[in-house]
Amino acid sequence: MTSYLQTADGEKHAAALSSVVAAVGLTTFKLVVGVSTGSLGILAEAAHSGLDLLAALMTFFAVRLSSKPADDQHLYGHGKIENISALFETLLLLITCVWIIYEAVQRLFFRHVEIEVTFWAFLVMFVSIAVDLTRSRVLYRAARKHNSQALEADALHFSTDIWSSSVVILGLIGVKLSAIHPQLGFLRQADAMAALVVALIVIYISLQLGERAIQALLDAAPRDKANAIKQAVERLPGVVDCHHVRLRYAGPQPFADVHILVAPEMDFTAVHTLTEDVERTIQTLLPDADVTVHPEPAPATVPSAYS
């Protein structure tokens, strides 16, 4: 079991680190090209990638810290560090969107900025799409394999970057067309409009990530899992009733507490064996769950297989 956890942690750390390295490269590349061309769309993407870098760093350290074992002060482990990281990531993204929207409105209505659409402007966006596609797949794969909400949030984040980068490319094409065909002069605003679309995309995804992080911090139970566990446990021979089912996640680690009624004439050994069967049944529905089973004698009026 220990070697498996070490392997799982190593894979999660490697996925998070690859995201950090990619974010550093993309942020630098976009910033240089954005400043040299004056494109707000690319500068918006550079700011977005800068926050991606902060988010990736937070995810990297969150994954490392959340893998620490439980101690005297954190009896359920440190898994919720991943959820806190996701919440901070949401706040950072929303702050960035406020700046992007403000700057886009300024350029649309109050300030004119000349944009130089060059080969490098298109190259940086196509490179961004290729990198985001690769790292989102790596993160999704690790998130699904190890049930990591922090990595899943990062993967969702970077997969949306593909769409926002595509929007910026459309904006650059609009600016280029307005320069070639003066009758299409209204397309000069395409870059600022693209930046607004980027901001709206990021806001939408940020709110989704924030809601998931808050739900996890509030110990929201997985949808329909409690009822599925109750039904599965009650099908076990010897279980008269299953009630008071409680589920929660601490990062990737699920915890389950259940109470069961057993026939009062069952001896201690039989009850102990039954609780182990209950644990295994729950773990088929919640893999790697930490399960606590509280057995109680059923009232004499309740029929059982031992009656």
261-302, pLDDT tens digit by residue? 998 888 889 999 999 999 999 999 888 888 999 999 888 665
Decide if 307 is inside a domain: no
Decide if 183 is inside a domain: yes
Decide if 290 is inside a domain: yes
Closest by CA to 21, choosing from 158, 203, 148, 163, is 158
Strands (DSSP E) along 184-275, which ranges? 239-250, 253-262
Q: In a 10 Å sphere around its CB, with 0-12 CB exposed, 13-18 middle and 19+ buried, how is residue 86 labelled? A: buried
Decide if 306 is inside a domain: no
CA distance 257 to 239: 15
Same domain, 177 and 45: yes
Same domain, 50 and 177: yes
Same domain, 65 and 36: yes
Question: What pLDDT, on the 0 to 100 scale, is given for residue 298?
Answer: 83
Decide if 212 is inside a domain: yes
**Structural domain for 166, as ranges:** 2-217
Decide if 305 is inside a domain: no
**What is the tens place of the pLDDT at every residue in 194-225?**
778 777 877 887 788 788 778 878 877 777 78
Decide if 108 is inside a domain: yes
Q: What is this structure's pTM?
A: 0.63
Same domain, 242 and 288: yes
Same domain, 48 and 158: yes
Question: What pLDDT, on the 0 to 100 scale, is given for residue 60?
Answer: 77
The total number of structural domains that make up the chain: 2
Decide if 302 is inside a domain: no
Tokens in use for 208?
């989704």
Question: What pLDDT, on the 0 to 100 scale, is given for residue 32?
Answer: 83
- CATH number for position 172: 1.20.1510.10
CA distance 93 to 88: 9
Same domain, 138 and 272: no
CA distance 60 to 299: 52
Backbone angles phi, psi at 248, to 5 degrees: -160, 160
- CATH number for position 268: 3.30.70.1350
Question: What pLDDT, on the 0 to 100 scale, is given for residue 113?
Answer: 55
CA distance 5 to 304: 41
Neighbour order of strands in the sheet with 253-262: 239-250, 253-262, 290-297
Residues of the chain with pLDDT under 50: 1-6, 307
